[in-house]
Amino acid sequence: MFLAFTKIRLAGMSMAKKQSVREIERKFLLKRFPKGLKKFPHDSITQGYLAVGPGGLQVRLRKKGSVRSLAFKRGKGIREEREIRLSVEQFEALWPATAGRRLSKVRYDVPWKEHIIEIDIYRGRHAGLVVAEVEFDNQRSCAAFEPPDWLGRDVTGKPKYSNVALALG
């Protein structure tokens, strides 16, 4: 089973629909790091969850590099996502409410053929966990994907590897 969800990004605090894209993802463990990992673009990510509920409901705060955002997610399989950028002040006002539901990681963007493989190296209590995600334009390209030899077991759809489970665990 592949993870697929619809993502709607919102700019500023406007609630106007800016983009609707169906994304299909696969998630893998790593056998080893690709050669030259440190040379690829990367950002530190800290995220916490304001709310988690039934039906895949999540409200997440994230700081990626210098960008701060709030995301609302709902559904399983095909998911709805709405994301808005936050000011430093807005982020800092909400961040304390995520206590006990946080994680941190470094994300590397590694080009592979026509894809970007996002490698997440977790920090803190999840140090040692490394996963990679690949996004696809359609189910056909997802099914046809041949991972590089440094990717390991496909853990797509395994709840214990989801960010929300890691933040809550």
Find the catalytic residue in 49, 108, 122, 161.
49
Strand 3-9 with 80-86, pairing = parallel
Whether the Cβ atoms of residue 69 and residue 145 lie closer than 8 Å to each other: no
Which of 33, 23, 38, 55 has its CA nearest to residue 138? 23
**Catalytic residue check, 49:** yes
Give the count of alpha carbons within 13 A of 131, CB side only: 20
Dihedral angle, C-alpha 132, 136, 139, 141, nearest 10 °: -100
Burial class of residue 120 in the structure, from the number of CB atoms within 10 Å of its CB (0-12 exposed, 13-18 middle, 19+ buried): buried
Positions marked active-site: 49
